[in-house]
Structures are given as structure tokens and as C-alpha cells.
């Protein structure tokens, strides 16, 4: 009964975070719609696609958890039915790892346009990102064939270990991405600015890395509580960055970045950076 309680607590937290995310996502969509004409077409399409994918992913994850919750007690007179646990876990893992992939794809894209589409600069972050995508695809294929997971057995910890590996690669992808920008900045004073960037854009990675690492190594029960809302948290942080960045720039006239050499920057930097970074 204790395991069931933790599962329901996790689902309750997921629904709660999802409600906050939907409210933020509505503002997020309005901001993109208002700035559609000011954004370069490719940037607008990229941000809109990423936003839509994150919304679909977290919605699918939450619906799957709610269906599982109702399935457990569909026959009150019979023993608790855990037959849908494995399928629910597969969907949850797939949604979680792909939400990380989408988040880091945005970071790689920022680095790509920041340095005027120079592939030599983005090669290392892109390579790590490709490995991250490979792990995500493999995890979905592997666990899509494992619908008979027993939550009471030691095999239940395998999804946790896989999620931990995915999070570590996601963290490395984000760290390498931002590290490349630090090394290429021409002025030492730029480190102050890059610190603020890292706090904002690395929030997704930090939440995942700390949360999944701690819960997967300490307790399976705690993992069930914390893992359910993680996908919604990832999407919520992404939408919050766009909303907060936009609100800080109301009435501000775009100018050249203070610490970057304007000769090395793509003109598209201003549009996406103003939306994705709170200075």
C-alpha cells in the first residue's frame, strides 16, 4: 500500500505542475504570436515546434499516468492490478528523455546561431547531443518491449539507472554547449554575463541531474514520487524562460551585445537571445 501511496503522490504533483505549466504555456504562446513578425522565420518555426513538442510530450505522460491510476482500482473487489505499470513506465521514460533532448536541442541551436553558423565551434556540443539522442532512442525501443515490469522486484531499478545515464548525458551536453561559449568570449568581463546565462539555461539540466540522481540512488519509493512531474518541470522551465525574458525586454530597443564581438555574431542572435535569456 505504501508503494501505491507514493505513486499517487507523484501523479498528484505531476497534475499540479502541469496546471501551472498550462497557465504559463498560454502566455508563452501569446508572446510568440505577438513577436512572430519580429522574429526571423526559421527562429520562429524552431521555437514554435519545440514548444508544441514539449506540450504534447508532457500531456501524453500525464494522461498515461492518470489512465494507470484509474486502472489500478477499476475492480475494487479484486486485488490491486499492476499489469499496466510497465507500459506506464515506458511512456514516462520516453517522455522524460525526449523532453531533455528537446531542451538541449534549443541550447545547441543557440550556440550555432550565436557564432554565425560556424560548424567548427558547434561540433563538440553537437557530437555529445547526438549521443544523447541515441540513448533516448535506445531507451524508448528497449523499454517498449518491457511491459511486464514488476514494481516490487529489483528490475524496477533498471529504468532509474537508464534515466540517470540519460540525465548525465543531458547535463554534459548542456555543460559542453555553454563551456564552448565561455572559451570563445573575447572579454574576461563576459564571465559575469555567462554566469547568468548558465543559471537560466542550465536550470533544466540541474533539476534533472540532482533530482534523478538523488532519488535513483537513495530509494525506489522516492523515485516514484519525484519522477512523475519531471517532464512537466522541464517544459515549465522552458516556458518560464521565454515568458520572463520577454517581460524584461518590454520597451527595450535591441542593441549589440555588450561583451561579444559584433563581427563574429549572427544577426539572428538578438531575436532568439532576447527570448531565451533573462539578462
Q: How far is residue 143's CA from residue 106's CA, in Å, rounded to a whole number?
A: 26
Confidence of residue 55 (pLDDT cuts 50, 70, 90): very high
Burial class (CB in 10 A: 0-12, 13-18, 19+), 28: buried
CA distance 108 to 197: 14
Q: How confident is the model at residue 220 (pLDDT cuts 50, 70, 90)?
A: low
Per the CB < 8 A criterion, the answer to whether 108 and 146 are in contact is no
Q: Which of 15-29, 49-63, 90-104, 169-183 has the lowest mean pLDDT?
A: 169-183
Please work out, in degrees rounded to the nearest 5, the angle formed at the alpha carbon of residue 274 by the alpha carbons of 271 and 277.
Answer: 135
CA gap 208, 229 in Å, rounded = 11
pLDDT value for 230: 74
- The domain limits of the chain are 2-276
pLDDT of residue 168: 60
pLDDT for the residue 238: 76
- Average pLDDT rounded to a whole number, residues 228-251: 68
Say yes or no to pLDDT of 79 above 80.
no
Overall average pLDDT of the 52-77 stretch: 84
Least Cα distance to 169 among 201, 118, 226, 130 occurs for 130
Q: Is the pLDDT of residue 60 over 50?
A: yes
**Mean pLDDT calculated for residue range 50-69:** 88
Q: Whole-angstrom Cα distance, residue 220 to residue 3?
A: 9
Say how many C-beta atoms besides its own lie within 10 A of residue 238's C-beta: 26
Look at 63 and 137; give whichever has higher pLDDT.
63
* Phi, psi for residue 256 in degrees, rounded to 5: -70, 145
Question: Which band of pLDDT confidence, cut at 50, 70 and 90, is reported for residue 59?
Answer: very high
69 touches 8 (CB < 8 A): yes
**Percentage of the chain exceeding pLDDT 70:** 43
Can you give the pLDDT at residue 22? 92
20: left (phi over 0), alpha (psi -120 to 50) or beta: alpha
- Between 64 and 177, the more confident residue is 64
* Angle 257-247-28 from CA coordinates, rounded to 5°: 110
What's the pLDDT at 144? Answer: 63
Tens of pLDDT, residue by residue over 1-13, are 666 777 788 888 8
Out of 47-51, 75-79, 214-218, give the one with best mean pLDDT: 47-51
Residue whose grid cell is 544577426: 267
Residue 213's pLDDT band, with cuts at 50, 70 and 90, is low
Mean pLDDT, range 60-81, rounded to an integer: 78
Ranked by mean pLDDT, the top range of 45-59, 85-99, 128-142 is 45-59
Name the more confident of 20 and 245.
20
pLDDT 10s digits, 174-190: 565 556 555 555 544 54
Q: How many CB atoms are closer than 10 A to CB 188?
A: 8
Q: Which of 24-38, 165-179, 189-203 has the lowest mean pLDDT?
A: 189-203
Q: Cα separation of 144 and 72, whole Å?
A: 20
Question: What CATH fold (topology level) applies to the domain 2-276?
Answer: Rhopdopsin 7-helix transmembrane proteins (1.20.1070)
Stretch 50-59: mean pLDDT, rounded?
90
Average pLDDT over residues 191-205: 50
Average pLDDT, the chain: 66
Amino acid at each position: 500500500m505504501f508503494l501505491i501511496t507514493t505513486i499517487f503522490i507523484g501523479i498528484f504533483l505531476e497534475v499540479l505542475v502541469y496546471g501551472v505549466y498550462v497557465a504559463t504555456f498560454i502566455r508563452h504562446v501569446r508572446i510568440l504570436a505577438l513577436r512572430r513578425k519580429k522574429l526571423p522565420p526559421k527562429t520562429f518555426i524552431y521555437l514554435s515546434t519545440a514548444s508544441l513538442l514539449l506540450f504534447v510530450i508532457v500531456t501524453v505522460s500525464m494522461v498515461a499516468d492518470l489512465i494507470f491510476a484509474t486502472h489500478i482500482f477499476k475492480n475494487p473487489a479484486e486485488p490491486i492490478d499492476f499489469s499496466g505499470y510497465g507500459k506506464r513506465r515506458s511512456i514516462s521514460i520516453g517522455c522524460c528523455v525526449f523532453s531533455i533532448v528537446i531542451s538541449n536541442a534549443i541550447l545547441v541551436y543557440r550556440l550555432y546561431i550565436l557564432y554565425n553558423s560556424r560548424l567548427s565551434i558547434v561540433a563538440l556540443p553537437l557530437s555529445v547531443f547526438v549521443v544523447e539522442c541515441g540513448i533516448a532512442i535506445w531507451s524508448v525501443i528497449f523499454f517498449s518491449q518491457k511491459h511486464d515490469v514488476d514494481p516490487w522486484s529489483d528490475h524496477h531499478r533498471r529504468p532509474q539507472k537508464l534515466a540517470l545515464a540519460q540525465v548525465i548525458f543531458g547535463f554534459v551536453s548542456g555543460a559542453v554547449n555553454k563551456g564552448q561559449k565561455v572559451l570563445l568570449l573575447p572579454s574576461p568581463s563576459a564571465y559575469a554575463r555567462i554566469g547568468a546565462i548558465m543559471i537560466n539555461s542550465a536550470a533544466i539540466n540541474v533539476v534533472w541531474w540532482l533530482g534523478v540522481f538523488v532519488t535513483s540512488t537513495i530509494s525506489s519509493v522516492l523515485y516514484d514520487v519525484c519522477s512523475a512531474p519531471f517532464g512537466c518541470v522541464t517544459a515549465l522551465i522552458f516556458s518560464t524562460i521565454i515568458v520572463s525574458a520577454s517581460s524584461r525586454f518590454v520597451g527595450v530597443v535591441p542593441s549589440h551585445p555588450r561583451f561579444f564581438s559584433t563581427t563574429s555574431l549572427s544577426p539572428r542572435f538578438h531575436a532568439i537571445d532576447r527570448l531565451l535569456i533573462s539578462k
